[in-house]
Structure 1
Amino acid sequence: MQLNPSSDQAPVSGLYIALVSIHGLIRAHDLELGRDADTGGQTKYVVDLANALARQPGVGRVDLITRLVDDERLDSGYSNKTEPLEEPGAQIVRIECGPNHYIAKEKLWEYLDTFADNLLQFFQQQQRLPDVIHSHYADAGYVATQISHLSGIPLVHTGHSLGRDKRKRLMASGMTSSEVEQKYNMRRRIEAEEQVLANANLVITSTRQEIEAQYELYDYYCPESMRVIAPGTDLSKFHPPELGEPQTQIASAIRRFLDEPEKPIILALSRPDPRKNIATLVQAYGESPELRTMANLVIVAGNRDDIREMNDGAEEVLTELLVLLDYYDLYGKLALPKKHLPSEVPAIYRMAARSCGIFINPALTEPFGLTLLESAATGLPFIATENGGPQDIVDNCEAGLLVDPLSAHDLGKAMKQLLLDGDLWRKFSANGIKNVALKYSWDAHARSYLKQIKPLVAAFKPQQYSPAIMNASRFADRLIVSDLDKTLLSNPTGLRDFCQMLREKRKQVAFGIATARRLDAVLKLLKKYRIPKPDILISSLGSQIHYGRELEVSTDWEDHVDHDWNPRAIRRILRKVPGLELQDDAEQSKFKISFHIDPSQQGGITKEKIVSLLRQEEQSVNVFVSAGQNLDITPARVSKGLALRYVAQIWGIPLERVLVAAGAGTDEDMITGKTLSVVVHNRRHEALESPVTGQNVFFATQPNALGILEATDHYHFFDEQPGVTVVEDDA
């Protein structure tokens, strides 16, 4: 990968770690936890992890990479491209992606290719590549997989929560499959998770339960590549109550709700999200005269000004809480403060601990349960959902009880048990203080983390490029790349005009062809149609790159894509599939296996089924199905889009100066992201797998090569600064 040797940054000494966490609102101080469903425990986790890693000997730089947001409704700091974190050497890096305003993670998918292109550009501007890229959640996993495919940087992933498990639980709660898909864009999320699992060098989980009960649901399930490293807790903030502590502002805000504030506190603290299941807690409390007599209920559910202006999920939850408060007549017994600062959270736990109360996490499922560690560290026993990470925390800390979150009866029974049994309360309180300090510190987490990634870093060899390919296009400052059969050909007038344009602009623009065909077949077509020899030829679906006058093959690219490629195993697996037949040897290549699909079996042989079958056999590959008749398998690092970006970065041509003429199917990743793209008129009928809204995609009114020429005018492609389609900010 071409780096920027003139960067004014000081060279990095020690490990350079890139953490990618795209959604939510992330800043160095006063995280807005609970503001919405996307700004919760994960945002705090990645900030704490970045600081903890930066403190370790041998770590030189940690970048926490997220999305840049320029939204007048939010703090202006979210639009700063960089922001230092607490520890020297750690910083937040914000990457532009999609509209300027803040949007939910479910709406980010169509912009993630642009995020990946912008992030790759950022890395190219640094003195060196990161030693490892660590993605958090599915959206970051999608981006980091693309970066790893192109650069070879070792990929580490943490899921935090998983789509298959979430979908199962949402449907168990009453939602239909179509409702889940419409609200959560679950199909794209699960496919991104499958993709990152198939390509990650290491998957870090918080609990053993994640591996055994959640990741096991995925096709590419490889527990050998997964490691449990529990998150840490900041013990300087989360500690037991101390004598003489002054009363905080949040304590006064809570007390004003309560008739008898001296009673024990049943505390719940989470964002107002339906999955947090807070309403069941209120139901359990409201239906128990004993609980209402012996304790107060305090629910700290994010911050609000006007419930009516909150997102649908938060508005739904808070409205339901107010309805239940009124239904059970909990006035004077239930506190629901409107606002709190992140810095006040430790004091809220200590207030509950001082009252001999309990902490409740009734979520439908909890990937880890960081709030349980925080409560236990302050000496506050907890009750938690039995689904997910809390199982490990209970085993390690012996500081709380597990319940079925869907049973208000079981939840009420557990609350009464802890509040009435003083010996058990004191045991859990002491155990929590001791065992959190012993087993859940951030420094211990960081040391375990570095131990796991060092073998990956040692094995990583940055790509090397031969001088010949680097010099193959010394003059051009922009590039036109076209598919062959359905795009460039079939219109003699347009092809003649296009070729004439190339000859006139030869020193200004490089010309490339990207095709599924092999080199020998392409050469015959070039000769037949008198097309100028391209500066770059991407053949066999992107598995080979040819350059220069002799169209020499790039051995550097071949070495790069020959990663986890096992063609013998793939043939063995697919030989068992009825309706598949290997194509002639003339259609096969070193990094492409091609099959015919029996027309009578077309309905039963889909891309999804083949991908699932190969992943279950631990084969990380790309699968292409064209016209329902041809099936091609390539290494995971092979695609036309990846090959195109590889060439552009070697030649130093920004993607904003690359015009791609292509369509659906095997072309699709060429026309996403930052490239300027055109779909010629005769290919507009082809359905794209993913939306292209917000991308620089122009749908031409002219067919074939005429459509490409139309696009050069549309984008003002030969101007000093080619034009782009601007994403409208419709906030």
Structure 2
Amino acid sequence: MSTTNTIKKVAFFNPQGNFDKDDSHLTEHPDFGGQLVYVKELAKAFGELGVEVDIITRQIIDKDWPEFAEPFDYYPDAPNVRIVRIPFGGDKFLCKEDLWKYLPDYVDKIYELYKSEGRFPDFVTTHYADGGISGVMFLKKTGIPFSFTAHSLGAWKLEKVLESGMSREDAERKYKFTVRITAENLSMHYASFIVCSTNQERYEQYSHRLYEIDPYDDKFKVIPPGINHKIFNQEPKPEDKQMEEYIEQLLVKAPIKRHRLPFIIMSSRIDRKKNHIAVVKAFLQNEHLKDRANLLIVVRGINNVLEYVNTEKTEEAIILKEIVESSDNEIGKSIFFANVSNQRHLASLYRVAAARGSVFALPALYEPFGLAVVEAAACGLKIVVTKNGGPAEIFSHGEGLLIDPSNINDIATKLLLALEKFDCRKSVELAKKFSWENTALAYLENIKHVLANPDSIVSVDEQRLKKFYDLINTL
């Protein structure tokens, strides 16, 4: 498909986290999660289709984040993709909740950059609420339309946080929910189209009472994300031998009988909502399950988990400490931690584990889509995944086993069933359908439609946008 006749250049607005050619810190931090993988892979797929892309994020001049100091960066395998780092909000790293009041400066400087270069993008894709509201401001300034991909929605996170026992005042102070939800509503209203990964996301997530949009509106487009099939596949790679040796090192102190057992692998960010502890409990409480497999928890950038949990006070360390303390002295015997820090090594781990008949488990309380699950399936792992969210739609025809993440017995039963009887061939075939090229083509088809119908682009109301400015001025 040729795209260059109508779409020459697209900008991706992603103020939070950061991007660099080496994928530094990717998935290691709440602001460097799946959203950044999505943006990077989608941008590269655009580039391969002949579209020039700018991923526009934040410049950070901080000794702890040296990878993000230069104003421009490039992926060596993506000549059409440029990483643009805009200086705003000072030099130091700021988490996404602290960026809101600096976003007008972000947008102004993007405008100045393109003005100085003498060329603006044809279209903007925006990501998360901070990218979305930046798209609204940029539309007001330039008339250039944008799409909005939320990745996650603040109203639902607010509910989860309040359910956890945090007071509304503390939740507001920490997460700036009023600003975020206001930004989301403005993004939805002014976006030329809204991208959802699943129908569940569209009809359930956007139907929340705090949102002003009708999920049946035609501007919603269900476009599943993809995976990188060059990395996540069943083809043996040279690094697989090294991964086998690494696994043997992990098992060196374990009883001999456990050295050839399959694994139950958890490989999502160490975050409370990912619910790792539920699988740990299911594993420890079911002797048949414990005899049948080892439990392997992937951590990123942590060589010694026991040392880490006793010296650090991060949320990640607190969660890992809970896992260690509940492990009944099984760390190094039947429960193991693997430090796997990049996608190629992760795919290698999956392939090596799949050869043992291993299972990938994602017991998240809620999972918007579940790219990590599709990646694991592509490498031949059996799938046991939460029924809450996108996975129930993706694995709707028996390609994976769905679990109630709050039911320890259900988790243990499904893990055993997967280990002993599940055939992964259907999940491998399913994974082949999810490609970034298909995702990019769907975006570009919708972008073409918008550009061919400029009358559909809504002008930004100054007074409506002022409500957002008034909120950030109080931060």
On whether the aligned pair clears a TM of 0.5, the verdict is yes
- Aligned-residue offset at 1:50: 0.6
- Aligned-residue offset at 1:182: 2.8
- Aligned-residue offset at 1:21: 1.3
Quote the residue 1:415 is aligned against.
415
Equivalent pair of 1:258/1:296 in contact (CA under 8 Å): no
Corresponding residue SS for 2:384: strand
Corresponding residue SS for 1:415: helix
Q: Is 1:355–2:356 an aligned residue pair?
A: yes
Partner AA of 2:200 in structure 1: Q
Q: How does 1:231-270 map to 2 (within 5 A)?
A: 231-240=225-234, 242=236, 245-248=240-243, 250-256=246-252, 258-259=254-255, 260-270=258-268
Which stretches in structure 2 are left out of the alignment for 5+ residues? none
Distance 2:79 2:291 in 1: 51
Q: How does 1:306-385 map to 2 (within 5 A)?
A: 306-307=308-309, 312-325=314-327, 327=328, 329-338=330-339, 340-385=341-386
Identity, % of aligned positions? 29
Structure 1 residues 311 and 302, CA gap change in structure 2 (3 angstroms):
farther
Structure 1 residues 257 and 69, CA gap change in structure 2 (3 angstroms):
farther
Corresponding residue SS for 2:32: coil
Quote the residue 2:37 is aligned against.
44
- Aligned-residue offset at 1:96: 1.2
Structure 1 residues 456 and 253, CA gap change in structure 2 (3 angstroms):
farther
Which stretches in structure 1 are left out of the alignment for 5+ residues? 1-10, 462-561, 565-634, 643-664, 670-687, 694-731
Structure 1 residues 253 and 65, CA gap change in structure 2 (3 angstroms):
farther
How many equivalent pairs are there?
460
Q: Is 1:112–2:103 an aligned residue pair?
A: yes
- Aligned-residue offset at 1:258: 4.0
Partner AA of 1:153 in structure 2: I
Distance 2:371 2:185 in 1: 26
Q: How does 1:392-541 map to 2 (within 5 A)?
A: 392-395=393-396, 398-421=398-421, 425-426=422-423, 429-437=424-432, 439-460=433-454
Structure 1 residues 234 and 65, CA gap change in structure 2 (3 angstroms):
same
Partner AA of 2:472 in structure 1: S
C-alpha offsets along residues 479-519 of structure 1, whole Å, 9 cap, x if unaligned? xxxxxxxxxxxxxxxxxxxxxxxxxxxxxxxxxxxxxxxxx
Distance 1:35 1:194 in 2: 29
Corresponding residue SS for 2:385: strand
C-alpha offsets along residues 254-297 of structure 1, whole Å, 9 cap, x if unaligned? 43464323101000001111111111111111111111111000
Quote the residue 1:273 is aligned against.
271
Equivalent pair of 1:34/1:301 in contact (CA under 8 Å): no
Quote the residue 2:472 is aligned against.
690
Equivalent pair of 2:179/2:471 in contact (CA under 8 Å): no
Corresponding residue SS for 1:216: coil
Out of 114, 122, 134, the residue aligned to residue 131 of structure 1 is 122
Corresponding residue SS for 2:30: coil
C-alpha offsets along residues 386-426 of structure 1, whole Å, 9 cap, x if unaligned? 12111221027x421111212222211111111122xxx22
C-alpha offsets along residues 71-123 of structure 1, whole Å, 9 cap, x if unaligned? 1112x231111111232211111111212111211121122222122122222
Quote the residue 1:282 is aligned against.
280
TM value normalised by structure 2: 0.90
C-alpha offsets along residues 6-49 of structure 1, whole Å, 9 cap, x if unaligned? xxxxx999521001112123222334233211111111111100
4+ runs deviating over 4 angstroms: 11-14, 307-311
Quote the residue 1:702 is aligned against.
none
Q: Is 1:81–2:81 an aligned residue pair?
A: no
Quote the residue 1:705 is aligned against.
none
Distance 2:74 2:237 in 1: 35
Distance 1:55 1:284 in 2: 44
Deviation larger for 333-342 or 85-94: 333-342
Structure 1 residues 155 and 250, CA gap change in structure 2 (3 angstroms):
farther
Equivalent pair of 1:33/1:271 in contact (CA under 8 Å): no
Q: Is 1:64–2:65 an aligned residue pair?
A: no
Equivalent pair of 2:268/2:274 in contact (CA under 8 Å): yes
Q: How does 1:2-13 map to 2 (within 5 A)?
A: none
Partner AA of 2:320 in structure 1: L
Equivalent pair of 1:51/1:90 in contact (CA under 8 Å): yes
C-alpha offsets along residues 513-568 of structure 1, whole Å, 9 cap, x if unaligned? xxxxxxxxxxxxxxxxxxxxxxxxxxxxxxxxxxxxxxxxxxxxxxxxx975xxxx
Out of 197, 222, 226, the residue aligned to residue 228 of structure 1 is 222
Distance 1:328 1:309 in 2: 20
Structure 1 residues 250 and 374, CA gap change in structure 2 (3 angstroms):
farther
Corresponding residue SS for 1:38: helix
Equivalent pair of 1:34/1:303 in contact (CA under 8 Å): no
Equivalent pair of 2:387/2:403 in contact (CA under 8 Å): yes
Equivalent pair of 2:6/2:448 in contact (CA under 8 Å): no
Quote the residue 2:387 is aligned against.
386
Distance 1:45 1:266 in 2: 26
Equivalent pair of 1:37/1:272 in contact (CA under 8 Å): no
Distance 1:69 1:195 in 2: 28
Structure 1 residues 335 and 241, CA gap change in structure 2 (3 angstroms):
farther
Q: Is 1:99–2:90 an aligned residue pair?
A: yes
Out of 283, 286, 297, the residue aligned to residue 299 of structure 1 is 297
Distance 1:344 1:34 in 2: 14
Corresponding residue SS for 1:91: strand
Corresponding residue SS for 1:440: coil
Give the alignment's Cα RMSD to 1 decimal: 2.6
Equivalent pair of 1:202/1:226 in contact (CA under 8 Å): yes
- Aligned-residue offset at 1:68: 1.1
Distance 1:345 1:162 in 2: 28
Partner AA of 1:351 in structure 2: V
Query: Comparing both chains, which one has the higher relative contact order based on Cα–Cα distances under 8 Å and sequence gaps of 6 or more?
Result: 2
